Structure 1
């Protein structure tokens, strides 16, 4: 059997699935060396079973992709107590589904807890039972230190009783989603992220330009002020992915963790399309440097869309977390309120609203769950506010003007393609306006509405689709 890159690594499936100890160490240099050893051994998917705050984080040290084969590197946290078993029905099945899906697409998985002796063997045992092994045969394949540890008796009993479903089914739980409904949801989630990136990339070509002074674009051509390659996206998508990564890793809103990931983006090009931080505004950079929000514009609004994707089944949480996500870099009350309205629009789109129903459905969500007077929504997006198309072009800092432009474009156009071409060819803040439009329209119409040629050109499409699938899994998972 192949050797393990770390001392206590143990193959469950040779060259496919290994369990082991926490890869982090007290010294960052040692942590990096251990991570490099795992990457050199071919691992590209890390499943962390430790609880938030239990150990120093290491996921920010992972590269976005492996240097040798270009496979993107994924980190997922699915916490279980050291000597505990899952208490929430369905949580073990969810972990096993993550393993199955990662293996199906060719990832090599490193599954770890703290010491590599406790909870990892619990999950590995259930994985072997799922594969058809009898209880005794499954236990025999696991770490002998775990098999004889008295503190692990409850976990061993869990593995022995495992039958591929929760040990104590929740009779009040919602029935499984119809496969057709799940396909629609997956299309909306992928549309939301692919749509965001395509729009950001196209808008970067015309940003800050004046209509009539450039040839209208009709695809992801690159260029622009940063001379980007075709399909490259900028800060709006990268910062949104930082939020998504934080939510998935921490399984909650953690402003400090989000800020840390923004710093990784600014300093090392984390979660970018080209390996470089592109498009960061002076206000965002100042906020990160001062460790306090400065404010300055509507750039933070796209983060609210990610919050809606992650926690779509908890609208009240979406509104509160959207405000908190904005506050990491922007102290403006106007930006906060505009972001919450954008979250309401995204929730309505994910919920199946048609284009002509979007504003009314979003208003209902706002009035029921936002905890903020509905008059704020009406002033921003009431009939009078969007009846006349706002003037585009130039450089705007009014978040409500950006919001109205996006909504007016959505209502006036026939679909994702027509609306995006209309908004980015108006120049000005084209990448921001395009990103806000593309994020929302992609979720409203689904990924199939995005021209296949654009989907093929946008950079890091596989990573974007993986994020979309993980956000959907998180939204459907049982949560307090």
Structure 2
């Protein structure tokens, strides 16, 4: 199956959204429901004792499934399935016996990886979802739930739509009515109503309710991408099994709105077993969606992306309105000033292209294409990126911002940064950027996105 750039974005968002929900919910596990307006953050701690941004074994289990798919393995193969649930290891059968009659939701968490593995085949997806669920869950309802959630994720990745009922036809006819009623309840009731959300059925209802009860984004400057954050926060505020339900919610939200809708403040600190960070999640998810085969340029597996065919990638200048921000092309990664300790990449880079000494690396899913449909979350990405650059600067970091040639994406982001955080009028900011980067010429989509409604100067 040939996936578009936007579909790749949504595939990556599936695993990234799951991990984000997991890490966000970790600090609120087993708490009572919170008010709708309660502030939540990736604070870590809680009864799981995780650090801020650290995911739990929920994500680790999903990674095992995605990793198998990224290696091109067929999850319907029994030998493959026995190897993919490593957090349970050799106690799989014991786990099944202990959980009889008390259905936990771990199998539902693993269904996200199943969805990525079979984007091209919904029938095989349903078979694999049942088989992977059966590793720990013999119950029919649990397996039905995994089929529904995995097919909903597949639909979201391919079509950019939320539709939990798209998979009902894959269930035996005699069980469809019961699931219609359960989903109707989730449409009607708030997330907190599904209080026993450590079970598969209630977890699915709570997760779908978190997505079904989204406020209309009316505030100036907000976009559809904000729904991803809102849905995950809804799940966390529902309390009790917040880590699990927020992770399940995040998988479908990420499949719908993409990795480009996941806030940079979350992406920067996400980490967890087995020693992975955000770029690793993106790589695994994309490879799973591509049946383990990189594209013709070696993305997302190669250590370096070869941009020599473009030429002119070595630009490196200081931002005219903040000397702590450097601007340039991808080639400058090989000769960064020693004081630079954070990198914001606006183009694809290889797995080892950013110097190993850089701990803070934010990769932005931003396509240099004038067609609006190529960047469905463009307004959000631009504002989110410059705000995170400002956050890095506030922490004392020296930041390098780059794309391939510093012609389109880098100048646009640099001008917006100056407008929002250096109190420079946008037109003047862009003119000043062009003075230090004479080849700068943001594409029409980026110029249109640099609209006055986005230019709220931060005080």
Q: Sort the TM-score into its range (normalised by shorter chain).
A: 0.5 to 0.7
Q: Separation in 2 of the partners of 1:378 and 1:306?
A: 24
Question: 1:339 corresponds to which residue?
Answer: 146
1:403 aligns with 2:225: no
Q: Report the TM-score, using the length of structure 2 for normalisation.
A: 0.54
Question: 1:303 corresponds to which residue?
Answer: 110
Q: CA offsets, 1:74-94, max 9 Å, x none?
A: xxxxxxxxxxxxxxxxxxxxx
Q: Mark the runs of 5 or more structure 2 residues left unpaired by the alignment.
A: 216-226, 272-276, 295-459
Q: State the 1:234 CA deviation.
A: 0.8
Q: State the 1:394 CA deviation.
A: 5.1
Q: 2:14–2:254: 8 Å Cα contact kept in structure 1?
A: yes
Q: State the 1:380 CA deviation.
A: 2.8
Distance 1:445 1:183, change over 3 A: same
State the Cα RMSD in Å.
Answer: 2.8
Q: State the 1:211 CA deviation.
A: 3.3
For 1:84-99, list aligned pairs within 5 A: none
Q: CA offsets, 1:17-45, max 9 Å, x none?
A: xxxxxxxxxxxxxxxxxxxxxxxxxxxxx
For 1:374-389, list aligned pairs within 5 A: 374-381=176-183, 383-389=184-190
Structure 2 residue corresponding to 1:323, chosen from 112, 117, 130: 130
Question: 1:473 corresponds to which residue?
Answer: 290
Q: Report the TM-score, using the length of structure 1 for normalisation.
A: 0.52
Q: For 1:391, what is the secondary structure of its paired residue?
A: helix
Q: CA offsets, 1:428-468, max 9 Å, x none?
A: 00011101100000010111111111111111112111101
Q: 1:198–1:458: 8 Å Cα contact kept in structure 2?
A: yes
Q: For 2:85, what is the secondary structure of its paired residue?
A: helix
Q: CA offsets, 1:312-350, max 9 Å, x none?
A: 110011111101000001111111111111122112212
Distance 1:388 1:252, change over 3 A: closer
Q: For 2:229, what is the secondary structure of its paired residue?
A: helix
Q: Separation in 2 of the partners of 1:385 and 1:457?
A: 32
Question: 2:6 corresponds to which residue?
Answer: 184
Q: Separation in 2 of the partners of 1:347 and 1:390?
A: 23
For 1:62-141, list aligned pairs within 5 A: none
Question: 1:461 corresponds to which residue?
Answer: 278
Question: 2:51 corresponds to which residue?
Answer: 229
Question: 1:218 corresponds to which residue?
Answer: 40
Q: For 2:282, what is the secondary structure of its paired residue?
A: helix
Q: State the 1:370 CA deviation.
A: 4.6
Q: Separation in 2 of the partners of 1:262 and 1:234?
A: 14
Q: Separation in 2 of the partners of 1:385 and 1:230?
A: 30
Q: State the 1:247 CA deviation.
A: 3.1
Q: 2:187–2:213: 8 Å Cα contact kept in structure 1?
A: no
Q: For 1:253, what is the secondary structure of its paired residue?
A: coil
Q: Separation in 2 of the partners of 1:384 and 1:209?
A: 23
Q: State the 1:294 CA deviation.
A: 4.3
Question: 1:253 corresponds to which residue?
Answer: 76
Distance 1:301 1:291, change over 3 A: closer
Q: Mark the runs of 5 or more structure 1 residues left unpaired by the alignment.
A: 1-173, 268-284
Q: Separation in 2 of the partners of 1:310 and 1:241?
A: 12
Q: State the 1:198 CA deviation.
A: 0.8
Q: Separation in 2 of the partners of 1:386 and 1:426?
A: 15
Q: Separation in 2 of the partners of 1:315 and 1:476?
A: 20
For 1:406-425, list aligned pairs within 5 A: 406-414=207-215, 415-425=227-237
Distance 1:290 1:375, change over 3 A: closer
Distance 1:289 1:401, change over 3 A: closer
Distance 1:435 1:385, change over 3 A: closer
Q: CA offsets, 1:243-266, max 9 Å, x none?
A: 122334433423443333434x35
Question: 2:427 corresponds to which residue?
Answer: none
Distance 1:198 1:425, change over 3 A: same
Q: CA offsets, 1:34-82, max 9 Å, x none?
A: xxxxxxxxxxxxxxxxxxxxxxxxxxxxxxxxxxxxxxxxxxxxxxxxx
Q: Separation in 2 of the partners of 1:189 and 1:337?
A: 22
Q: State the 1:398 CA deviation.
A: 3.8
Q: 1:195–1:442: 8 Å Cα contact kept in structure 2?
A: yes
Question: 2:168 corresponds to which residue?
Answer: 366
Name which one, 1 or 2, has greater alpha-carbon Rg.
Answer: 1
